[in-house]
A and B are shown apart, each in its own frame.
Chain A
Amino acid sequence: MEDLVKYLGNPRNQDAVLELLVVHARLALVPLLLGLLAALPIGWAAQRYRRLRAMVLGASNVMYTVPSLALFVILPGLLGTKILDELNVVVALAIYTAALLVRPVVDALDALPGHVLAASTAMGYRPLRRALTVELPLAVPVLAAGVRVASVSNISLVSVGALIGVGGLGQLFTEGFQNSYNPPIVVGIALTLALALVVDLLLVGTLRLLTPWQAGRPTARSAA
Chain B
Amino acid sequence: MSRTWTRLFAALATGALAVGMTACGSDDPLQPADTTAPDGGTIVVGSADFTENVLLAEIYAGALRGAGANVTTKLRVGTRETLVKGLEDKSLSVVPEYTGNLLAYFDKTAEQSKPDEVYDALKDKMPDGLTVLEASEAEDSDVLVVTKETATQNNLSTVDDLGPKCGEYVLGAAGEWKQRWEAKINELYGCTFKEIRTTDAGGPVTVEALKSGQVQVANLFTTLSAIQANDFVRLEDTKRMYPAQQVVPFGRTDALNDAATDALNMVSAALDTDKLTELVSRVEVDKENAADVAADFLRDAGIPT
Contact = CB atoms under 8 A, between A and B. Distances in A.
A86 B74 CA distance: 12
Interface string B244-287: 00000000000000000000000000000000000000011001
A178 B1 contact: no
B300 interface: no
A22 interface: yes
A175 B288 CA distance: 12
B109 interface: no
A75 to B, nearest CB: 14
Contact of A29 (B18, B85, B86, B284): B18
B11 interface: yes
B289 A13 contact: yes
B22 A210 contact: no
A174 B76 CA distance: 8
Given A165-B82, A171-B76, A177-B203, A26 B25 contact: yes
A19 B29 CA distance: 13
Contacts of B204: 177-178, 180
B22 A26 contact: yes
A83 B18 contact: no
A192 B284 CA distance: 25
Interface in B74-124: 74-78, 82, 85-86, 89-92
Contacts of A175: 54, 76
A84 B15 contact: no
Given A25-B22, A164-B78, A178-B51, A209 B7 contact: yes
A178 B289 CA distance: 14
Contacts of B1: 133
A165 B22 CA distance: 20
Contact of B30 (A6, A90, A171): A90
Contacts of B78: 164-165
Contact of A137 (B4, B10, B291): B4
A218 interface: no
A184 B235 CA distance: 34
Interface in A117-140: 133, 136-137
A191 interface: no
B30 A22 contact: no
B126 interface: no
Nearest to B86: A84
Contacts of A202: 18
A206 interface: yes
Contacts of B283: 179
A3 interface: yes
B22 A22 contact: yes
B49 interface: yes
Interface string A1-20: 00100110010110010010
B23 A26 contact: yes
Interface in B196-214: 200, 203-204
A23 B26 contact: yes
B77 A12 contact: no
Nearest to A6: B287
Contact of A84 (B18, B77, B200): B77
Contacts of B26: 19, 22-23
A67 interface: no
A87 B33 CA distance: 12
Contacts of B85: 83
Nearest to B24: A26
Contacts of B10: 209
A21 to B, nearest CB: 9
A165 B292 contact: no
Given A165-B76, A212-B7, 4 more contacts: A26-B19, A30-B29, A164-B78, A175-B54
